[in-house]
Amino acid sequence: MYLFCDFYFLQALYNITTTHNFTYFKGEIFIKRLNKIILLLSFFIFIFISLISCQNKETKSTDFTLHNFIDEMNSKGYDLKIKDVEKDVLSRTRKRTYNDKIIFDVYLYENNKSMENDSKNLSKDGSKYENGKTSVVVDWSKPPHFYKKGNIIVQYIGEDEKIISDLQSILGEQFAGH
């Protein structure tokens, strides 16, 4: 809609500047330059307005929350539910998202910065968490996978390639685990 409006605005402005013979100033060169400047300025305004109106409306990665994660996974057919669980490996509030076949633990943070800081306390293989006060070593029954985006860290323990692929498409590459 904005693109058409901007196009008609540009066309009208161009018609005004090219159909009227401005003779108020001396020299035809000045008028031609003025017409070009007006046309260029209009073009840049058109581009600027078009870019603003066509901005990507997707969730910014720093605003990604538990509910965004569940919505994305459910759109891929997972039909996840949420339940409260006690804290375990990471230091923040943990929610369990699950269905009949799979479980994801989602750690909730106040903001992206606190999530990023806490993610640095997890070892690359996902077996150890150490933040200076607490140290936890885990021997996982299956390979762990840790993903982060926005205000959450998602933990998946398993080997299902489709699940891993879906998590990567939603959250990006894992930052810890196997």
Domain residue spans of the chain: 2-53, 61-177
**Cα distances (Å, whole numbers) of residue 20 to 15, 29, 106, 143, 178:** 8, 15, 66, 74, 71
User: How many angstroms separate the CA atoms of 72 and 95, rounded?
Assistant: 16
Inter-helix orientation angle 66-75/161-171, to 10°: 130
Which tens digit of pLDDT belongs to each residue from 35-51?
788 888 887 787 777 77
User: How many angstroms separate the CA atoms of 61 and 135, rounded?
Assistant: 29
Which tens digit of pLDDT belongs to each residue from 71-109?
999 999 999 999 998 877 787 889 999 999 999 999 999
Contacts of 148 (CB under 8 A, 6+ apart): 115, 116, 119, 154, 171, 172, 175
* pLDDT bucket at 137, cuts 50 / 70 / 90: very high
Contacts of 28 (CB under 8 A, 6+ apart): none
User: Tokens 């720093």 — which residue?
Assistant: 62
| Predicted model pTM | 0.65
What is the share, in percent, of the chain residues with pLDDT greater than 90? 53
> What element of type H or E holds 169?
helix 161-171
User: How many angstroms separate the CA atoms of 40 and 61, rounded?
Assistant: 35
